[in-house]
Amino acid sequence: MSQTIAVVGGTGNLGSAIAWRLAKAGHQVIIGSRSAEAAIARAEELGHGLTGMANADAAQAGDIVLVTVPFSAQAATLADIKPHVAGKIVVDTTVPLVPPKVMRVQLPEEGSAAICASNLLGDDVRLVAAFHNVAAHRLAEDGFVDCDILVFGDDKAARAEVVALAEAIGQRGIHAGPLVNAAAAEAMTSLLIFINKNYKVDGAGIRITGELNAPD
C-alpha cells in the first residue's frame, strides 16, 4: 500500500517543488498551508493529482510529513501539527536563516533547527532532517539538480525512507548520520547563499565525491 506524503508549508518554493516532483513520480501528495484555500489553489496549479488542505489536516492525513517552512514559522507550525504526527516520520527541512544577514551562519542556541524541532515534537515522532542545501527554484524545473540530499536522523530506518524520497525526485540521497549532524548542513546553506552571490551561481549545491558503497 502506497504511503501518502503531506508537505506542510507546501505553498512555499521548496515545499511546492518537492511536492510537484513527488507527485510526478507517482506518489500521493497533499500540500498543506495555513490557509486551506491557498493549499487547494496551489495544488490545482501544480497538477499531477496533488490535493490541498490546511496544515493540521494535511499532517493528519499524511503517513510521512515534510515540514517546509522558514525558521521564523517553525515553532508555530510544529505546534499546529504535533497532535497529528505521533508515530510518523516527520522530515524537517528548516534552515535557521535570520534576515537580513542570511549569508552569515546563525545557528540557534539549541545547536540547530533540527534539534529545535526535536525539542518541540518530543520522542513520539521519527524525526529526520533533510533537503537543506538544494535550490528550490532548480527543483521546480525538470531534470537533475547537481546537489546531493544529505539526510540526518537517529532512526536509521526512517532515514532510509527519506533517502528513498530523495531518489524518487531524481536526486541522490545520502545517509549523513544522527540528527545532531544536521547543524552542518544548516550552516552550509548560508555559505552556499554567499557563494551564489559572490560567484553569480544559479543555485550552488553540495556533492559528495568518491565511490559510495551501500551503507551497512
Which CATH number do you get for residue 128? Answer: 3.40.50.720
Domain membership flag for residue 214 = no
Domain membership flag for residue 172 = yes
Q: Write out the DSSP string of 98-124.
A: -TT-TTS----TTSSHHHHHHHHHGGG
Map residue 57 onto helix, strand or coil. Answer: helix
Burial of 103 (0-12, 13-18, 19+ CB in 10 A): middle
Q: What is the pLDDT of residue 211?
A: 86
Domain membership flag for residue 184 = yes
Q: What is the pLDDT of residue 1?
A: 47
Give the structural domain span for 144. 4-199
Q: What is the pLDDT of residue 65?
A: 97
Domain membership flag for residue 97 = yes
Q: Read off the pTM.
A: 0.94
Domain membership flag for residue 61 = yes
Domain membership flag for residue 188 = yes
Q: What is the pLDDT of residue 24?
A: 93
Number of domains in the chain: 1
Map residue 209 onto helix, strand or coil. Answer: coil
Q: Taking the chain (216 residues) in consecutive chunks of 10 residues, what is each chunk's mean pLDDT?
A: 87 94 94 94 93 96 96 96 96 95 95 97 96 93 92 97 95 96 96 95 92 82
Domain membership flag for residue 143 = yes
Q: What is the pLDDT of residue 214?
A: 82
